A and B are shown apart, each in its own frame.
Chain A
């Protein structure tokens, strides 16, 4: 059978399977929901009926030969990639598969320090060595930026044996690097470009957006379809460009991915790809309109700064994703995390995250004008009721890490637990980060400095949720003994 972008092969196979009324003597044991009435009532009978296991008519994610293969080919076509993989263990798994199929133990990878924890976790697993590039910080906004071409050139010259350059594009805040130039530099030096496109799956479907990884010629990209593409949480695409052997990538994915791939997640990817291919342009246009409207109104409130393309500087802010609504809150004297908490507790508004200086609201096709009005009114109220002078606000600075041990060596070393405040100059044996956004303040193998301790204590005081350490309260930290 020939499929086109109007098809959704996995979804169609599931519909057919449901009609066939097959008798199941296989897993899952709930057998179409009958074995678990409460769950069925909660999630819906139709949902449970298609929560099935791999079988001949539905293909197998580990070794696709029929409908999953067809769906992956359609996805590759839709994203302009040579190959695409359905990922059911999050974009985390896609990021790890990119790194592990490009670097082996002891090999180097150039990356900005503001990567998501999933990237450094991959280094813990595979033993590759990070070469960090300072992403640069916008001092006014306190946000890490994209990668500077000069810094990348320096890193390449100093580490000509590196295997790959890893780029966050866009960042959580919507900031893009000069991807085409990075690809050209990397390929001239026989390095791959791996793009964490966790916040950029929509780049493939809309107009007036920054260039996507595949269009820029990157070798691999992890596109988080569940974030901005409409699929279910935990589903994602791994995309490969030319010169990447998809067979090897599949082997790497299969090292850690489940052998019981969820058909709910796969069908959601399949349907979302079709939906975005068909309607992406209007969806993105509407999203940008809502987001631009909100930005404009927020900037009129005063005290907040919802930034957009005016911050572009040709290098570390090469482009900006206008669907993102990132708002600097420092001028009303409140940390982003404080505004985040107030929106949640006082106004029943849940936004994506708040950090020290900013909050981020995700705008999508699912939003309606009146919800945007609620956000605007609440921000206006928060300023009126809680706004104060801008004093005692910690200026967020990039903390250049001193990497003493590789993440893997540090993670698996003998460790001991000491009070965070007494940990100066020791080597961290674990991560510390605010989640979200999940960018490590400290990664295993890095020296603990005074700036880092101060920052962690400040973030805790402001109410950030700190994760990483074994000690859930983050009073103690594991150091390399």
Chain B
């Protein structure tokens, strides 16, 4: 008998991996949650049937969403992470001794519980003393904050479903308020290879650009995400991720990474032409 997990990357493209065993299959108040043990990718978390994290390639996503802003401003002390129930983003953040306080806002407690039990590889740092977890709507949490954070990381699901509110103009505006005058906002930015994601990404980028003085997009290669080519948004009131990258200081921290390095940091902002064209369409 063979058991396969399949995700539709488009209506006409499927991505499948062979499953050894399904470890979790449950419904929370917000979404369907499953954990699969797979032959190739190790343990895999899916939400509403969409793949979120695999043990084998999560390091790429989490390196890129954390170390790019951290190497741009080494004085980051207070961080807000929205989403990130799997804990991978928190794990990378807690490697910086300079960070004093991390607020994590996740809407679904069941995701966190599940990852703590079944995917300790990512959830291992959620008990760190600096981490404060709030189970509520990210939009609601951030709306109440003023001038509070050095960095906000939006580690959300896709712009359809529970994460929908995190791709809206009002959310970016509220993040702007919640950041201090040198604050940085990093978000997962979907992919633009397949047509059905293009509009969502372009709109998200346009909305960020309208809100922040600096708004750039960078990329990473993530094998299990649709097309494998994934984008992140970097927005800031002050820091430019290319000009302000502090190569020496970051390397002096001695943080060992599997994907990120400071040369790749700069290279990640060199986008393919078709992506550049898509991004500039609204400009």
Contacts and interface: CB of A to CB of B under 8 A. Distances in A.
Interface of A: 346-348, 369-370, 373-374, 376-378, 380-381, 384-385
A374 B174 contact: no
A373 B169 contact: no
Contact of A374 (B139, B162, B177): B139
B165 interface: yes
A377 B162 contact: no
Given A370-B139, A376-B140, A381 B173 contact: yes
B168 A348 contact: yes
A385 B139 CA distance: 18
Contact of B143 (A347, A376, A385): A376
Interface of B: 137, 139-140, 143, 162, 164-165, 168-171, 173-174, 177
A332 to B, nearest CB: 15
B164 A370 contact: yes
Contacts of A381: 169-170, 173-174
Contacts, number: 45
Nearest to A300: B144
A346 B174 contact: no
A370 B157 CA distance: 14
B137 A370 contact: yes
9 contacts: A369-B137, A370-B164, A373-B140, A373-B143, A374-B168, A377-B143, A377-B165, A378-B168, A378-B169
Contacts of A369: 137
A347 B162 contact: no
Nearest to B107: A370
B134 to A, nearest CB: 14
A380 B170 contact: yes
Contacts of A370: 137, 139, 162, 164-165
Contacts of B143: 373, 376-377, 380
A347 B174 CA distance: 13
A347 B169 contact: yes
Question: A369, A374, A377, A381: which has the most chain B beta carbons within 10 Å?
Answer: A377
Contacts of A377: 139-140, 143, 165, 168, 170-171, 173-174
A380 B174 contact: yes
Contacts of A385: 173
Nearest to B171: A377
3 nearest interchain CB pairs? Answer: A377-B170, A381-B173, A378-B170
Given A370-B165, A376-B140, 20 more contacts: A347-B169, A347-B170, A348-B168, A370-B137, A370-B139, A370-B162, A370-B164, A373-B139, A374-B168, A374-B170, A377-B139, A377-B168, A377-B170, A377-B171, A377-B173, A378-B170, A380-B143, A380-B174, A381-B170, A385-B173
